[in-house]
Copies of this chain bind each other. A is one copy, B any other.
């Protein structure tokens, strides 16, 4: 068992070193990198669609799409005429900094302001691997239940902001917003929480406002 933990530590150390390199490269070019992490189907791609629609006139946006297989999410985003690179992990449960480093050269970093990374749909492993991002956004949907911060604390500890998506489904679920807020505050007090619906657009103005502040 100690053997496995040691190997894991080596992998994480190497990942951290490469993440630091990526972060330095992006800082030199003044590019903000946002690592979006959620369960499968919580709405990462729909959030990116809305964000591109709102901000792509204002900022030069690029996207890295992490997916186990297929380019379905990337194809949904093609209409915004922005650079998109797909990383297929072929079974891998998370992106790592080495895969990010490899594709960074595909972007013209001199002409980029924000690089969004859509991680593999997984609430566990992606939160353990730094990519070189400026911050992580934890995205969770009302349909998943209010117990996610308590049950998957690492992501909510690591994230700098939380979006609670699918608030349009609230009336049809037993999601308890007070319980959610309370569990979240226990793990990460004062973290910004954006309740929103990426389908209807409700609540997204606060997210856009917050992203604008991060680019200053």
Contacts and interface: CB of A to CB of B under 8 A. Distances in A.
Contacts of A11: 4
Contacts of A7: 7
A23 interface: no
Interface string A37-49: 0011110000000
B123 A122 contact: yes
Copies in the complex: 2
Given A11-B4, A123-B121, A143-B141, A40 B148 contact: yes
Contacts of A122: 93, 122-125
A151 B91 contact: no
A150 B152 CA distance: 25
A153 interface: yes
Contacts of A123: 39-40, 121-122
B70 A150 contact: yes
Interface string A132-150: 0000000001011101101
A178 to B, nearest CB: 16
A67 B151 CA distance: 7
A18 interface: no
A39 B124 CA distance: 10
Given A93-B124, A123-B122, A172-B169, A144 B41 contact: yes
Contacts of A70: 150-151
Nearest to A76: B147
Contacts of A144: 39-42, 143
Interface of A: 4, 7, 11, 39-42, 67-70, 72, 91, 93, 120-125, 128, 141, 143-145, 147-148, 150-154, 166, 168-169, 172-174, 199
